[in-house]
Amino acid sequence: MNLAALAVDFRARFGSAPRLFRAPGRINIIGEHTDYSEGFVLPAAIDRWCAVAAAPNGLGRLRVVSQTFGQEMEADLAHLVPRGDWADYVAGPAKTLLEAGVAVLGADLLIVSDVPVGAGVSSSAALQVAVTRALLALSGIEADGVQVARWTRASENQFVGMPCGIMDSFASANGIEGGALMLDCRSLRATPAALPRDASFLLVNSMVSHRLVGGEYRQRREDCEAAARTLGVPALRDVVDLSVALQQLDGDLVKRCRHVVTENARVGQAVSAMGAGDLAALGELMNQSHASLRDDMEVSLPVVDQLAAIAQATPGVHGARLMGGGFGGCVIALVDTAAVDAVQAAIVAAYGAVIGESPDAFACRAVAGASEVFQ
């Protein structure tokens, strides 16, 4: 990503010198559909970024150009309302900061992103975190990454209307170079976890673009909340004895509860496996996570199951599972680094034959969370 070119474009467009900010997308190694049950997740920020060039304009308005979407928007800071498209990920953070008492300044923003959209790697969190960082900096406000994550999630929940958990914002705001974060989504305590040596994470896009604002994600969240209410616990994270809990639940809630409780346990086991350099164990946990997301959380699709199965069967792969909210998006595979190119080519060819087009695929590197960039 060429930030110098972004600054040049900004000057040409708005006539002033911008400050530059960027926020990364994220992978999640394991711990899926657990964050909104106040459970555990294991994400890492990755080397795909949303960048924002920003400068105050003294107009009390946001003037925004997205190079990624080839579109513009303008909005009065006193009248920010959702309009149901990408602009909400810019206006939402501004509105959230205003409601928190931050004196947000009118600003010009030029945005570009290479985080794939609809792929389950949190392009929307990256955009909102980058905008939040930019608006805070222009107002001269210092805030730590935990607070930025809270504001960003609030924007997505309340302004955009997507009832997501905190994982995506947290990873984008607080990621660490070369490592993942084991995050307790209740306390927001994050413990760094070194990534396995000699192994890489490969993402292969199912090429089914997910839409999470809609019903299915919200329904899963409501199922988990209903199960917790029936069990008399604050969240499914608090279930102590799974077999006792399952006897008190009916229908889909049995499955949802079993997923959350077993997935939370897998996060801890995965951290241990990473620490011990046990790739086989980590891969097996990822495979189990996929099966649980498919059978108990029911957030997969047949074509995503096919992609996961292809990946799991490819030599050089230790494990693979669907990643993110589900209903499309990417599969993440744990791959021997020496074999990444061959594995990528094999999966792209085999899955490409299934869907009739070549899927996007890329290996990624863990990077630090959002920051201002000085040139």
Please tell me which residue in 108, 168, 223, 296 is annotated as part of the active site: 168
Nearer to ligand GLA by C-beta: 105 or 332? 332
Q: Least distance (Å) from ligand GLA to the CB of residue 125?
A: 7
How far is it, in rounded angstroms, from Cα 277 to Cα 282? 9
How far is it, in rounded angstroms, from Cα 46 to Cα 23? 10
Two tokens at 232? 């008399």
How far is it, in rounded angstroms, from Cα 351 to Cα 311? 9
Nearer to ligand GLA by C-beta: 87 or 119? 119
Q: Least distance (Å) from ligand GLA to the CB of residue 214?
A: 13
Q: What is the chain's alpha carbon radius of gyration, rounded to the nearest angstrom? A: 20
How far is it, in rounded angstroms, from Cα 326 to Cα 331? 9
How far is it, in rounded angstroms, from Cα 110 to Cα 9? 8
How far is it, in rounded angstroms, from Cα 10 to Cα 55? 9
Nearer to ligand GLA by C-beta: 107 or 330? 330
Residue 272's alpha-carbon distances to 174, 180, 320, in angstroms, are 22, 13, 18
Two tokens at 295? 């059978």
Q: Least distance (Å) from ligand GLA to the CB of residue 1?
A: 22
Nearer to ligand GLA by C-beta: 22 or 210? 210
Q: Least distance (Å) from ligand GLA to the CB of residue 324?
A: 4
Residue 239's alpha-carbon distances to 90, 186, 259, in angstroms, are 38, 14, 12
Q: For this structure, is 296 an active site residue?
A: no
Pairing of strands 107-113, 61-66: parallel
Residue 236's alpha-carbon distances to 129, 299, 301, in angstroms, are 28, 18, 24
- Interface contacts to ligand GLA, rule CB under 6 A: 32-33, 35-36, 164-165, 167-168, 324-325
User: Any idea which residue has 């400068």 for tokens?
Assistant: 55
Two tokens at 364? 């990624």
Q: Least distance (Å) from ligand GLA to the CB of residue 32?
A: 4
Nearer to ligand GLA by C-beta: 80 or 183? 183
With both helix axes pointing from N to C terminus, report the angle between 167-174 and 123-138 in degrees, rounded to the nearest 10. 60
Strand intervals (E) in 185-299: 189-194, 199-205
Nearer to ligand GLA by C-beta: 9 or 216? 216
Q: Residues with catalytic annotation?
A: 168
